[in-house]
Structure 1
Amino acid sequence: MIETNTNNASNFVEQVDSTFVFIFGISLFFLLGITIVMVYYIIRYRKSKNAVATQIEGNNTLEVVWTVIPTILVVIMFYYGWSGWRFQKDAPEDAIPIKTIARMWSFSFQYENGKITDTLFVPKNKAVKLDLIAQDVLHSLYIPAFRLKQDMVPGKEDIVWFESGKEGEYEIFCAEYCGLRHSYMKSVVIVMPQKEFEEWNKVDSAAIANINPETAMRIAAQGILRKYGCNACHTSDGSKLVGPSYKNILGRSRIVIKDGQEIEIQADEDYIRRSIYDPNVEVVKGYDKGLMISYKDQVSEDEITQLIQYFESLSSN
């Protein structure tokens, strides 16, 4: 259940909220003040009371006052915003590093032990540093309850950090329009007790060793799909999403658009490899071109082999 009470959700809540209240209070004060003065002068100097215009000479003191005071207030507001921004960039040395990857249209989170999830799991009362990486277009990590937002620019690595003092689930959004399924690019942060997090994050080698080969293959392949965000656009049950389903993808012919022409090809292992490395050369009829980036320098040959084995199991059912 998503937590709605954000008090103490992160160490930035109080600072950001107080800055907002300060700026909003100043804005409201001047809005009311200027409106009241304007209405007073409209009534006081209306045409029926002041038919002949009166020449009013300048007032140097007044000019200085309404220049200096707003300047001081703007500088104070800038300081509050700048100091908060600097604090969010200065992560503690003992913060837990989590690689946060954004792609069309999903987030994935990779921990120090190699575990990859599409949900962000963090311990309570422990600093967490998110290493932000955008793999395709501009994204923006936004956790409203934590008062945390940071653009993710392709080719530029950046970080944000936080420490949550309250257990619960909190929503994550992409706050930068990133294409067709931008509104579906959501996840959650789950804040749990330190011991529970350590238990969750522990790799159980004995359990892994006892898994049968078929299950191990599926787990490995599904981990690869989560790692690269494939499930944001493809399904394993045959339903249509942004891209074709994995189900029955191998050993069957399909119509693709290549160089503007419709051609029929056999979906074999080479086709899978081409679809991952050059996804916009042969686009399955009925799907849009240009929505998938090339993973040539990211997906390894071993990973492709594991994916092909997984697709074979889906195609044999």
Structure 2
Amino acid sequence: MYILSPTPIKASNFVNEVDNTFMLILGISFFFLIGLTLTMLYFVYKYNKKKHPVAVQIKGSATLEVIWTVIPVILVLVMFYYGWSGWTPMIHPPKDTFNIKVVARMWNFTFEYENGKKTDTLFVPQNKAVKLSLNSMDVVHGFYVPAFRIKNDIVPGREKMSWFIPQVAGNFDLFCSEYCGMNHSYMITMVKVLPQEQFNSWYIDTTKKVAANIESPTANGQRIMKNIGCFACHTTDGTKLVGPSFKGIYGNPVTVVTGGKEHDVKVDDEYIKRSIYDPNADVVKGFNQGLMQPYKGQLSDADVAQITEYIKSLK
């Protein structure tokens, strides 16, 4: 859709190289598709049974064998060269970059900036090299911005890198390009490219951060849970998803499986804290172990306390 557009948007510095390589390979493929199809139809017509009722053995031709070996090798090497020359700059970012940490989890992205800001939409400055540190908290995800012609797998346990220079201000789709579970198709967000001056104003504006600090613990807890993607697996209306619903659980008993044995526990502050820091220790009966990753080190005790206050409010 983006590449075959009559006037593709040059949204990043990689658009020309990727498009040129794509069109080269597409052109070569079409040339041989049409050429081979026409040749096949010609042979069907010329050597049909009516004209040649008796088959004739044809001897091989060393010249033809050399031609159809050498030419494809040359074409493959040409395609390899274009692909290599376009890919190499993608793995060598410049020194002066604006750095952002990308955290992917089922089923959302979180973007962490060096000044402490966290967003679920990627904000970047126009015409400035941006380097992304790609991290997955659970399974393999993909970071794919079609308009920028960049795509990288995000592998758990490995920090990967991607960089680009956004050249056009505007909003661009960002997808997870690797199947990552039930709600994979909803793992979509936006890249917002802002002119440098406008981006600077957004970046240094701490109004939202200050406002968050003076919100009630309940509102803060909801905000934290939204930012880390809790609502992708848990609901607040009593329905089941990947994990149990938060509605009405606080203060009530729940059956969990610990070390293969079932027992009842009361959902209180300590249980919620343990479930966040070590979610696979006590797994609610009827749900699978290993789907939720530990948040120890990612959330503070204060964050957990505010999450607990929000869960308490879900009667």
Would the TM-score normalized by the shorter structure come out above 0.5? yes
Report SS of the residue matched to 2:115.
Answer: coil
Change (3 A) 1:207 1:44: closer
Change (3 A) 1:205 1:6: same
Amino acid in structure 1 at the alignment position of 2:267: A
Deviations along 1:28-68, whole A, 9 cap, x unmatched?
10011111111111111112212222232222221111111
The RMSD of aligned alpha carbons is 2.7
Give the share of equivalent positions with the same residue, in percent: 50
The residue aligned with 1:308 is: 308
Change (3 A) 1:95 1:206: closer
Change (3 A) 1:223 1:82: farther
Q: What is the deviation of 1:308?
A: 3.1
Amino acid in structure 1 at the alignment position of 2:243: G
Change (3 A) 1:213 1:181: closer
The residue aligned with 1:283 is: 283
The residue aligned with 2:159 is: 157
CA distance in structure 1 between the aligned counterparts of 2:200 and 2:285, rounded to whole angstroms: 47
Q: 301-310 or 169-178: which moved more?
A: 301-310
Do the aligned residues in 2 keep the contact of 1:253 with 1:264 (CA within 8 Å)?
no
Amino acid in structure 1 at the alignment position of 2:19: D
Change (3 A) 1:167 1:239: farther
Q: 221-230 or 66-75: which moved more?
A: 221-230
Do the aligned residues in 1 keep the contact of 2:141 with 2:180 (CA within 8 Å)?
yes
Report SS of the residue matched to 1:215.
Answer: coil
The residue aligned with 1:228 is: 228
Q: 1:68 is matched with which residue: 44, 54, 70?
A: 70
Change (3 A) 1:235 1:124: farther
Q: What is the deviation of 1:167?
A: 1.6
CA distance in structure 2 between the aligned counterparts of 1:84 and 1:292, rounded to whole angstroms: 38
The residue aligned with 1:123 is: 125
Q: What is the deviation of 1:257?
A: 3.3
Do the aligned residues in 1 keep the contact of 2:257 with 2:284 (CA within 8 Å)?
no
CA distance in structure 2 between the aligned counterparts of 1:240 and 1:123, rounded to whole angstroms: 40
Amino acid in structure 1 at the alignment position of 2:255: V
The residue aligned with 1:90 is: 92
Q: 41-50 or 275-284: which moved more?
A: 275-284
Q: What is the deviation of 1:149?
A: 0.6
CA distance in structure 2 between the aligned counterparts of 1:239 and 1:6, rounded to whole angstroms: 44
CA distance in structure 1 between the aligned counterparts of 2:33 and 2:80, rounded to whole angstroms: 20
Q: 2:16 is matched with which residue: 14, 17, 31?
A: 14
CA distance in structure 2 between the aligned counterparts of 1:206 and 1:117, rounded to whole angstroms: 11
CA distance in structure 2 between the aligned counterparts of 1:104 and 1:238, rounded to whole angstroms: 20
CA distance in structure 2 between the aligned counterparts of 1:243 and 1:256, rounded to whole angstroms: 14
CA distance in structure 2 between the aligned counterparts of 1:202 and 1:219, rounded to whole angstroms: 23
CA distance in structure 2 between the aligned counterparts of 1:59 and 1:86, rounded to whole angstroms: 41
Report SS of the residue matched to 2:215.
Answer: helix
Amino acid in structure 2 at the alignment position of 1:186: I
Q: 1:105 is matched with which residue: 104, 107, 124?
A: 107
The residue aligned with 2:254 is: 255
Q: 1:32 is matched with which residue: 16, 21, 34?
A: 34
Q: What is the deviation of 1:6?
A: 4.9
Superposed counterparts of 1:194-205, under 5 Å: 194-204=196-206
Report SS of the residue matched to 1:243.
Answer: coil
Any gaps of 5 or more consecutive residues in structure 1?
none
Deviations along 1:233-292, whole A, 9 cap, x unmatched?
235576654334445543x21322315666442111111122113323433456554321
The residue aligned with 1:243 is: 243
Do the aligned residues in 2 keep the contact of 1:124 with 1:194 (CA within 8 Å)?
yes
Give the TM-score of the pair, scaled to structure 1.
0.86
Any gaps of 5 or more consecutive residues in structure 2?
none
Q: What is the deviation of 1:151?
A: 0.6
Do the aligned residues in 2 keep the contact of 1:117 with 1:226 (CA within 8 Å)?
no
The residue aligned with 1:190 is: 192
Do the aligned residues in 2 keep the contact of 1:116 with 1:223 (CA within 8 Å)?
no
The residue aligned with 1:266 is: 266
Q: Alignment length, in residue pairs?
A: 309
Do the aligned residues in 2 keep the contact of 1:9 with 1:165 (CA within 8 Å)?
yes
The residue aligned with 2:134 is: 132
Deviations along 1:60-112, whole A, 9 cap, x unmatched?
22111111111011011111112222111111211111001111111110001
